[in-house]
Chain A
Amino acid sequence: MSALVRRELSLRRLKLPPNPKVRVGIAIFVFFALLALLGPFVVQNVMGLSPSDVDTSQAMELPSAKHLLGTTATGEDVFAQLVVGSRISLLVGLVAGVITTTLSVLVGVAGGYLGGRADSFLTAATNVCLVIPGMPLLIIVASYVQGRGGWLTVALVIGLTAWPWGARQKRAQTLSLRHRDFVSAAEMTGESRWGVITRELIPSLAPIISVSFLGAVVGSMFADAGLSFMGLGNINITSWGSMLYWAQNGAALTRGAWWWFVPPGACIALIGVAAGLINFGIDEISNPRLRKPSKEVRARARAARLHAAAGGSAAEATAGKPAPVQEAAS
């Protein structure tokens, strides 16, 4: 799969892949990035809303023109919280994603390239860390830290526990590049091992690294939301996770205040779906069989079947055109 992904996503020609799923996914990411970047300013300075102003006379209000997404049990504006909170949630995701990706690239690529004992050691370490469940580990570390260091600590802890999946994947990809000519050429010109890794292997893996970076960002956002939901981490800073925590604590569920906990979860979910779309789309690009055949191909296949049923041979009907791949399967 790697070769195709590499071609489609090559950094040299920054062209969006033609797959609609990938495009929608990227559009969602861009939307949330802009929201986190500009949203808080617009909401607080232009619209004059505050995410933390308590107003008990307007508690638990349904969405209205004044409060676009209603209010919390203490009368805070849910819409303002949602927009302002996007920044912290995304920031935790980004920082943790960078740490996770860096670690996984270093461990995975070094192991795959160096081979031998270094690889055996790194692979064993990766696999061992992979089977130890991450969430309980995160929970106990976060509860010892007790909010010290704010969101940065949370991001750090998530980043340090989430790398093994990516390391495994990158090692496998590196193994497939290990004996390619360009690597041998670099070795023969006297490039050091570190030089081969940073100047040859990592750039060739860039598309895979960027996709897994997106996955790491989303995974970290999920983990952050889960931790905040348990009351760990940054519940006093407005973030999507802390909104869910306060909603749960304020009995939003039993009071039926859906506008309080549906929006933050929906934002997290939307980002998750975007990552899913991108992954799925890239699978389709690299393996055309996974794609639903286009209308034209399906029509041609139907015509061929009818033709065959009428006594002619299918090969005749599709002669001169590329054989529809899917028909082998149906």
Chain B
Amino acid sequence: MTVPALGPVDATVVAPRPGRRLRSVRLGTARYFLRRLGFYAVAAALAITLNFLIPRLMPGDPASALIAQMQQKQTLSGDQVHAIYRLFGTPGEPLWDQYVTYLNQVLHFNFGISVAYYPTPVWEVIRTGLPWTVGLVGLTSVLSFVLGTAAGVVSGSRVGSRFDSFMTPASMFMGSLPFFWVALILVLVFGVQLSWLPTSGGYDGDMLPGFNGPFLASVLQHGILPALTMVMASVGGWLVGMRNMMVTTVSEDYVLLARAKGLSKARVMFQYAARNAVLPSVAGFALTIGTVVSGQLLVEIVFAYPGVGYLLYQAVSSVDYPLMQALFLIVSLSVLAANFVADSVYGLIDPRARETRS
């Protein structure tokens, strides 16, 4: 039977002197961020490498097929042909050399030319879609987190109340539905049957994009249904998670004490119980970003919303490998960056997270 050995770490933390303590806390924080940064750097390297390996591991020779396909539309210059080989694999060249040239391409945002939007460079195409997706994902994930968590506080502070008996099963039900099917139903109800809201595109097709009132109003109007879908699909998870944590927290002694002191109900719930119960939800926030983005790709297709998901759909349906690969890379790297930010916020608000070794 093994007894867990006490590491030297435990010996050093015994009775820190007050002056040193602050410095060691700061050092600990720095170490936490560095470690997270290192972790996400590894993840990013893996994403880039996957992106490199997938076309090369596939049967056949995607590069030559792609060149043949593009030659049908227009003759390619020698440079363009080379760029495609560098991105999708040169038959015969050692894999390591290919990897180096590929990395060089990626570093310069040179992802080749799109087939679907020929002859626009892939990076230009992606740049038009990125703001739509980032805006929608950012808005909806924060909105559903705030709404779901607030509802979870109310629900969990009194299990079996009328609010709880309705909201918890309802949101669980919503969360179990496939995102894109919910989108289809919303289009049918609000777009086709009631024709209250536009069901496709990011703004009115007759307008020129710009920072003016009518255009922004149109963007908002077009965003309502996609945003509603995303919030409906993800609010339930937050509600149930927060509710279950609240249930445990409200029976803690410090909550009882706060109540005994005669503090108002709202203050006890939000300032005492919820502040502690919310930590696991915040910790989980980073991990859900990827799921939300994945779900949104499909929702964008239903609404023909001009974001990254719709571009990916265009790329898939016209077998546009350069666009597809670049989108995978950009989406993965953005999700990783968002994860890092969410993790850092968590590290700032919960000191315990900085101490655990992962």
Q: Which residues of A contact B (CB under 8 A)?
A: 123-124, 127-137, 139-141, 143-145, 148, 184, 187-188, 222, 225-226, 229-232, 244, 248, 253-254, 256, 258, 261-262, 265, 268-269, 272-273, 275-277, 280, 283, 287, 289-293, 298, 326, 328-330
Contacts and interface: CB of A to CB of B under 8 A. Distances in A.
* Main DSSP-derived SS at the B contact region: helix
Interface in B301-324: 301-302, 312-313, 316-317, 319, 321, 324
Contact of B251 (A140, A256, A275, A328): A328
Interface stretch (B11-19, B123-131, B224-232, B290-298): B290-298
16 contacts: A123-B358, A129-B46, A131-B287, A132-B290, A132-B336, A133-B332, A135-B298, A137-B332, A139-B312, A144-B321, A148-B59, A254-B192, A265-B184, A273-B176, A277-B172, A283-B244
Contacts of B115: none
Nearest to A256: B192
B42 A329 contact: no
Contacts of B287: 130-131
Interface stretch (B26-34, B104-112, B156-164): B156-164
Interface stretch (B50-58, B76-84, B141-149, B211-219): B50-58
Interface of B: 1, 39-40, 42-43, 46-47, 50, 54-55, 58-59, 62, 157-160, 164-165, 172-173, 175-178, 180-181, 184-185, 187-188, 191-193, 199, 240, 243-244, 247-248, 250-251, 256, 286-287, 290-291, 293-295, 297-298, 301-302, 312-313, 316-317, 319, 321, 324-325, 327-328, 331-332, 335-336, 339, 358
A289 B251 CA distance: 10
Contacts of B46: 128-129, 132
A298 B316 contact: no
A130 B343 CA distance: 14
A290 B157 CA distance: 11
Closest 6 pairs (CB-CB, A-B): A135-B294, A265-B181, A272-B176, A276-B176, A292-B160, A133-B290
Contacts of B193: 256
A2 B244 CA distance: 16
A143 B43 contact: no
Contacts of A269: 176-178, 181
B324 A225 contact: no
Given A143-B316, A256-B188, A265-B181, A136 B251 contact: no
Contact of A230 (B290, B298, B321): B298
* Main DSSP-derived SS at the A contact region: helix
Nearest to B340: A131
A132 B358 CA distance: 18
B248 A231 contact: no
B324 A230 contact: no
Contact of A128 (B39, B54, B55, B165): B39
Contact of A139 (B55, B293, B297): B297
Contact of A226 (B178, B192, B244, B358): B178
Given A184-B1, A298-B160, A127 B247 contact: no
A284 B228 CA distance: 30
Contacts of A230: 298, 301, 313, 316
Given A131-B287, A131-B290, A290-B244, A136 B339 contact: no
A290 B159 contact: yes
Contact of A132 (B50, B164, B178): B50
B1 A188 contact: yes
Contacts of A273: 173, 176-177
Nearest to A133: B290
Contact of B158 (A128, A253, A330): A330
Given A143-B324, A268-B178, A289 B331 contact: no
A136 B159 contact: no
Nearest to A188: B1
Contacts of B181: 225, 244, 261, 265, 268-269
B167 to A, nearest CB: 13
A226 B180 contact: yes
Given A143-B324, A226-B178, A292 B332 contact: no
Given A131-B290, A136-B327, A269-B181, A253 B192 contact: yes
Nearest to B184: A261
Contacts of B54: 140-141, 144
Contacts of B42: 124, 128
B335 A131 contact: yes
A287 B247 contact: yes
Contact of A136 (B188, B319, B332): B332
B293 A133 contact: yes
A329 B298 contact: no
B294 A144 contact: no
A283 to B, nearest CB: 7
B314 to A, nearest CB: 11
A247 to B, nearest CB: 8
A114 to B, nearest CB: 12
Contact of B312 (A129, A136, A265, A330): A136
Given A144-B55, A283-B244, A292-B159, A124 B39 contact: yes
Given A124-B42, A135-B297, A137-B50, 12 more contacts: A127-B39, A131-B43, A132-B335, A139-B316, A144-B55, A229-B301, A244-B184, A253-B184, A269-B181, A273-B176, A276-B175, A292-B165
A139 to B, nearest CB: 6
B175 A137 contact: no
Contacts of B172: 276-277, 280
Tell which of A124, A128, A268, A326 has the most Cβ of chain B within 10 Å. A128
A326 B159 contact: yes
A153 to B, nearest CB: 11
Given A131-B290, A287-B247, A329-B247, A140 B325 contact: yes
A275 B1 CA distance: 39
A184 B3 CA distance: 11
B205 to A, nearest CB: 16
B324 A131 contact: no
A292 B168 CA distance: 11
B347 to A, nearest CB: 15
